[in-house]
Amino acid sequence: MKLWVTEKQTPDLSLLIRTTATLFRKSSNHQNILIVDTPQYGKVLLLDNKFQTTDMDEFIYHEMIAHVPLYSHPAPSKVLVIGGGDGGTVREVLKHQSVDLVELAEIDRDVVEASKKYFPHLSSGFSDHRCKIIIADGVTYIKNMAGSYDIIIVDSTDPIGPAANLFTEDFYTAAYASLRANGILVSQTESPFLHTDFIVKTNRTLSAIFPIVRLYLAPIPTYPSGLWSFTVGSKKYDPSVPSRKGAIATKYYTPEIHKASFVLPRFLEDAIRTNKAI
């Protein structure tokens, strides 16, 4: 018998992946966690029936959410990752030698524990002495952290359930306060095709708080529509240009991809300029 996992990406669109084994299933205090093995994408993590990460395409998302903000900063030393319990973003952050502390504020301990067991190549940074794991709601955690971080990375689930408050004006205001004078915030901001309204709204909210706000894109095959967006709020540095050279090992990120990822298709440029989805 062939078993498949499905993510209903919109009421009219699903992604279906054939599985060969169910490796882990748990209803945690926050969500349903499922890890399956698949011929197409290797091991796959789902939270509440939504694809979060896969062995095959995880490198694109994790490299792009980490290296774009980190390379935009000349010397990032203290980094906060909110969400990101699979560990892929922490792994990439730790490749930067200037980083002496990365804190992971993840609401669900069970995601961290499952990743340690089933995704050791993602969670490898958890045992690094520069990594500190805090099991907490990111919204609460940053409240008393004024002036603490060079970079904040919001590597969250979709803006519903426990992640909804990570996309509010209150959260972004607190995040701005938690950044050092030249700090940079980046957040995953969903699909340019399916969630244009959400991207425009986030851009507007961040623009009222940060002097520099920019959007960049990367292809993620298993996310809805296959194209994903990230929104950056920066206090000083232009996030679309790497501010230093590096020699770290990557599979997707290059300095050229960094710059190119900020080149937007016309419909998105227009949506942001006119403040409405077209």
As annotated, the active-site residues are 155
From residue 176, give the alpha-carbon distance in Å to each of 65, 104, 105, 190.
18, 18, 17, 21
Q: Which two tokens stand for residue 156?
A: 């969250």
From residue 51, give the alpha-carbon distance in Å to each of 17, 105, 127, 239, 269.
10, 21, 25, 28, 28
Strand partners, 22: 36
Shortest distance, position 274 Cβ to ligand SAM, whole Å: 27
Alpha helices in 130-247 (DSSP H): 138-141, 169-178, 196-207
Cβ–Cβ under 8 Å, residues 191 and 224: yes
Range in contact with ligand SAM (rule: CB under 6 A) among 144-152, 160-168, 202-210, 265-273: 160-168
Determine the Cα–Cα distance for residues 260 and 153; give it in Å rounded to an integer: 20
Q: Residues 37-76: x/- map of binding to ligand SAM (CB under 6 A)?
A: ----------x----xx-------x---------------
Range in contact with ligand SAM (rule: CB under 6 A) among 90-98, 151-159, 175-183, 207-215: 151-159
Residue 166 binds ligand SAM, judged by CB under 6 A: yes
Total residues at interface with ligand SAM (CB under 6 A): 25
Cβ–Cβ under 8 Å, residues 250 and 63: yes
Residue 159 binds ligand SAM, judged by CB under 6 A: no
Return the number of other C-beta atoms located less than 10 Å from residue 88's C-beta: 27
Determine the Cα–Cα distance for residues 139 and 174; give it in Å rounded to an integer: 8
Shortest distance, position 50 Cβ to ligand SAM, whole Å: 7
Measured from each CB, the residue nearest to ligand SAM is 83
Shortest distance, position 161 Cβ to ligand SAM, whole Å: 7
Within 74-133, which residues bind ligand SAM (CB under 6 A)?
Answer: 82-86, 105-108, 111
Range in contact with ligand SAM (rule: CB under 6 A) among 14-22, 150-158, 199-207, 238-246: 150-158
- Where do contacts with ligand SAM occur on this chain (CB under 6 A)? 30, 47, 52-53, 61, 82-86, 105-108, 111, 137-139, 155-157, 162-163, 166, 188
